[in-house]
Amino acid sequence: MALSCAIACSAQPGDSSSAPTTTYELRPDIPIGTEDYICYGFDAEIAENASLRAVHWTVPSASAVLWHHATLYTVTEAFPDGPAPCDGMPPGSISLHVWTPGSGDLVLPADVGLALPRGTRRFVIELHVMRLQDGPAGAGSVAVGLQTDPVVNLGTFFGISAPVPAIRPQMNETSSTICTFSQSAHLWSIWPHMHRAGHAIEATLLRSGGEHSTLVHVEPWNFSAQRTYPLDVDVSAGDSIESQCWWTNTTDTYVLPGLKSSDEMCNQGLVGWPAAALPCVISP
């Protein structure tokens, strides 16, 4: 079964054509037969007193180095220009957008901008890349569109992560977590994320009054065609999201939690507003 949305799954497309953009060039390269996380740092003086309106990714179509996913962060501390290896971002980094094959760009409605942390010094682009064959590494880019005028709705990107068990050889496993909202908010999009052992992933809205509604259900999971799904959902204080993942380990070795594509994750990335009301809080 592919995507199902019990709640409205047809948000209006954004219009960020008026947002001034700055383009950053990227050409990651690694040895053949390896995968790695490569980071690039860029000055973010243009982000002073601005909000993010759009992120447009240009991924090389002919390249021996494949992009598995790419994440745009902000940091308030120094960060090298790169390319530099990076296994996890420094403390205080804030995610703004994640690209994966099939997920597309970020294009927000005309009255919405994502909040940038006060004191942002650098944009950082983190690329998870794999080289399976010899040949040239193609060049890509990311264009960041900012809004300096005040916006009606100041939003944020936030994540929900469920614990990943040690997935036993030739076994099925599942895990879930519940994240509760302390204030009312609007949810605009959701990005489910797993790796190669993933079988299905789901996010369910649990209303405080007892009603349940599916936000997204992806089955079978396709590692090579991850998408961001639109939402148009209002949540109230006390409402929760339950995120659940199912894995099928067809190998003769354990699959463990981690960053590599041979490891596993169980993540939901969401965009919503107002930023002051988000994120939700994971239940202990």
My answer on whether omega of the bond before 90 falls inside 30° of 0, hence cis, is: no
Tokens representing residue 105 in the block: 């760009």
Task: Give the strand order in the sheet containing 212-218.
Answer: 212-218, 198-206, 240-248, 172-180, 281-282
**Residue with structure tokens 């919503």?**
272
- How is the chain split into domains, by residue range? 21-147, 158-282
- To the nearest whole number, what is the mean pLDDT of the chain? 88
Architecture of domain 21-147: Sandwich (2.60)
> What b/e sequence results for 164-189 when a residue is b if at least 16 CB atoms lie within 10 Å of its CB, and e otherwise?
bbebeeeeebebebbbbbeeebbbbb
pLDDT above 50 (res 5): no
pLDDT of residue 15: 45
195 residue type, one letter: H
* Cβ(183)–Cβ(239) below 8 Å: no
CATH class given for the domain over 158-282: mainly beta
Out of 41-55, 89-103, 110-124, 254-268, pick the least confident: 89-103
pLDDT tens, residue by residue, 83-140 = 998 877 777 788 889 898 877 799 999 899 998 888 888 999 999 999 989 999 999 9
Task: Note whether 57 and 118 are within 8 A (CB).
Answer: no
Do the first three CATH levels of 21-147 and 158-282 match, i.e. the same topology?
Answer: yes
Please report which confidence band the pLDDT of residue 11 belongs to, taking 50, 70 and 90 as the band edges: very low
274: burial class by Cβ within 10 Å (0-12, 13-18, 19+)? middle
Least reliable range by pLDDT among 113-117, 215-219, 259-263? 259-263
